[in-house]
Chain A
């Protein structure tokens, strides 16, 4: 089974801090994604990556950046955390079939609170 591991289940950060969310997958998947999940809004795509050192903006990239230096690792960075970034963050990966037609494998999520 594909395993997607997010380094933290819960994080509490202060406004203005730089925050790193880490994600590692063990199935050699090409595609990796960061979503945020908010009640009533479902999952919204922040950034995704098709390959090492490649990244593409999703639907809500403002206030975020990403890094993919190795195939198995995809990091989400909040340059200066704000309270409206309090949310559940989900990392996912999928195989080379394509970003939209391949099932996603999710980590367990990181619940970030910004105070």
Chain B
């Protein structure tokens, strides 16, 4: 069955430090992969997406993610975290043929000064 796993429920990072949020997926065909961010009291905003081509994709707010088919992973990274990055991050997988987007449980990021 298709699924998305975000192993870390929450992560705390110091401001200015690098960040990596993990995402593993299970999907039978080539997946469409997404990362969304949700700030407190807000809906989800798309950070970046991978459909095909270059496996390293750039997104908004300085985020990037790398698709690794052999590991079924799509980890999100940022070289230097800002306090405003504190939010909840969701990895999601979609597909064709009417397949609907499935979301992971989310990782909440805390940023300490």
Q: A residues engaging B (CB < 8 A)?
A: 4, 35, 40-45, 48, 58, 90, 92, 98-109
The DSSP consensus for interface residues of chain B is loop
- B28 at the A interface (CB under 8 A): no
**In the complex, what distance in Å separates the CA atom of A108 from the CA atom of B105?**
18
> A42-B103, A106-B43, A108-B42 are contacts. A100–B49 as well, Cβ < 8 Å?
no
- Within the complex, what minimum Cβ distance (angstroms) separates A108 from chain B? 5
In the complex, per-residue mask of B79-113: 1 if CB is within 8 Å of any chain A CB, else 0: 00000000000100011111111011110000000
Question: Would you mind naming 24 contact pairs between A and B with Cβ atoms under 8 Å apart?
Answer: A35-B103, A40-B105, A42-B90, A42-B105, A42-B106, A90-B43, A90-B44, A92-B43, A100-B94, A100-B96, A100-B97, A100-B100, A100-B101, A101-B94, A103-B34, A103-B46, A103-B49, A104-B36, A104-B44, A106-B36, A106-B44, A108-B41, A108-B42, A108-B43
- Within the complex, what minimum Cβ distance (angstroms) separates A97 from chain B? 9
Among A4, A44, A90, A103, max chain B CB count under 10 A is at A103
Q: B residues engaging A (CB < 8 A)?
A: 4, 9, 32, 34, 36, 41-46, 49, 51, 90, 94-101, 103-106
Cβ-defined contact, B105 with A41, below 8 A? yes
Chain A residues positioned under 8 Å from B106 (CB to CB): 42
Chain A residue nearest to B45 in the complex (CB): A106
> A40-B9, A100-B94, A100-B95 are contacts. A45–B43 as well, Cβ < 8 Å?
no
**In the complex, what distance in Å separates the CA atom of A103 from the CA atom of B94?**
9
Tally the A-B contacts, defined by beta carbons under 8 Å. 67
